[in-house]
Amino acid sequence: MRGSADDGLNEVKFRDPARARALAGALTRLTRAIDRRPISVMHVCGSHEQAIAKFGLRASFPRALDVIMGPGCPVCITDVPEVDEAVVLARQGVRVATYGDMLRVPGTVASLADARAEGAKVDVVYSVSQAVELARGLDEELVFFASGFETTAVATAAVILADPPTNFSVLSAHKYIPPVMEIVAEMPSSRVEGFLAAGHAATITGWGVFEPFVARHGVPVVVAGFEPLDILAGLVQLLEIILEGTPRVVNAYPRCVTREGNLAAQQKLWKVFRPVGGRWRGIAHVPNGNLRLKDEWAAYDARKRFAIDLSGLWDYAPSALTSQCICGDIMAGISSPSDCELFGRDCVPESPVGACMVSSEGTCKIWHQYGGHPDLTTVSV
């Protein structure tokens, strides 16, 4: 039967409006049955927010249900000093390659795009293996500024294990999702009653990784995919668990996620990386939330190969606008972009103040592009 799955992957089935309306009806029934409002649940994935916005799902959510975006945009949570390291390296004359979204993320005084405009050599790549190919053709050093969660870190691990050229190294800003969910669940201001976990990250880690989390915090987790019906079905199941009152993990993305996950990928990930505590932008310190290269791969670790001197940056004060940015509260699920005075005025995709307005997975950019949470009381039907 392999190779004959055309019907099964018919994308129309995952986007069918009638089915979506039926699932939205189930959400309404469940929020009424729970009979508390607002019911706040958090998704931890920029791709979920993209689908929610792109397909207008928020307009079909019952008003009592608040679906908030957490720290699920890899670009947004890359901390300022990590961007600074890449910028300083580039300004020192080292060639830097990175994913396109990272180019315009502001550091303390500059982004990689600013450095490139000043003459630094900065390349945009679609994949880390493209960066390796680029290095192969060069006589100079190439540093790959690596951002993203465990899903992306696996790709970085794979190229390091595949004997890359000696002029290639990695500046890792990779992050690991499960620890940050602990932080959000423990925040005193957190209103989150359930998590919609990212299907792709869980493809690697398996859904079993969330069981200890649920046991510790008593908050349910549903693993969901990225099509509109995946998200609606995930929310329906999350509300069903909240209604029942027995927190557990449910896998609503069985076509990709297993309990154990992708063991081959995990083996590569933990062979190359070790988890260390460190800052996420807007979330502060996350124990075991950052992935750094193990000592045995020091030859490919840009932090070990180059002296990255950040001291010169501290002469600059952040701009007044930067101090007004509430990206941190938005990623912690405490605020919405519409709560930010800069949103859509001083902070727009063409000239972003905060990281959430830069990335295609950033909440502010998505809300700016698609209109965010429509106020249905002002819409005539």
Partner 1 sequence: MPGRVVSIEGLRANVDFFGVRRTVRLDVVDEPIAVGDYILNHVGFAIRRIPESEIRETLALYEQLLREAETDIMAADVRSEIEAGD
Interface ranges with partner 1 (CB under 8 A)? 1-5, 8-9, 11, 13, 19, 21-26, 28-29, 59-63, 99, 126-130, 148, 151-152, 154-155, 157-158, 161-162, 200, 203-204, 225, 229-230, 233, 236-237, 252-256, 262-265, 268, 376, 379, 381
Instruction: Tell me the closest approach of the beta carbon of residue 337 to partner 1, in angstroms.
Output: 21
114 or 230: whose CB is closer to partner 1?
A: 230
Instruction: Tell me the closest approach of the beta carbon of residue 340 to partner 1, in angstroms.
Output: 26
154 or 330: whose CB is closer to partner 1?
A: 154
Instruction: Tell me the closest approach of the beta carbon of residue 136 to partner 1, in angstroms.
Output: 15
Coil, strand or helix at 153: helix
Instruction: Tell me the closest approach of the beta carbon of residue 97 to partner 1, in angstroms.
Output: 13
110 or 250: whose CB is closer to partner 1?
A: 250
232 or 342: whose CB is closer to partner 1?
A: 232
Is 214:220 a contact under the CB 8 Å cutoff?
yes
Instruction: Tell me the closest approach of the beta carbon of residue 28 to partner 1, in angstroms.
Output: 5
Coil, strand or helix at 92: coil
Instruction: Tell me the closest approach of the beta carbon of residue 250 to partner 1, in angstroms.
Output: 10
11 or 295: whose CB is closer to partner 1?
A: 11
59 or 185: whose CB is closer to partner 1?
A: 59
23 or 90: whose CB is closer to partner 1?
A: 23
Cα(228)–Cα(14) distance, integer angstroms:
7
Instruction: Tell me the closest approach of the beta carbon of residue 25 to partner 1, in angstroms.
Output: 4
57 or 327: whose CB is closer to partner 1?
A: 57
Instruction: Tell me the closest approach of the beta carbon of residue 371 to partner 1, in angstroms.
Output: 14
As a three-state string, the secondary structure of the chain is CCCCCCCCCCHHHHHCHHHHHHHHHHHHHHHHHHCCCCEEEEECCHHHHHHHHHCCHHHHCCCCEEEEECCCCHHHHCCHHHHHHHHHHHHCCCEEEEEHHHCCCCCCCCCHHHHHHCCCCEEEECCHHHHHHHHHCCCCCEEEEECCCHHHHHHHHHHHHCCCCCCEEEEECCECHHHHHHHHHHCCCCCCCCEEEEHHHHHHHCHHHHHHHHHHHCCCEEEECCCHHHHHHHHHHHHHHHHHCCCCEEECCCCCCCCCCCHHHHHHHHHHEEEEEEEECCCEEEEEEEEEECHHHHHHEHHHHCCCCCHHHHHCCCCHHHHHCCHHHHHCCCCCHHHCCCECCCEECCECCCHHHCCCCCHHHHHHHHCCCCCHHHCCC
130 or 324: whose CB is closer to partner 1?
A: 130
Cα(134)–Cα(146) distance, integer angstroms:
15
Instruction: Tell me the closest approach of the beta carbon of residue 157 to partner 1, in angstroms.
Output: 8
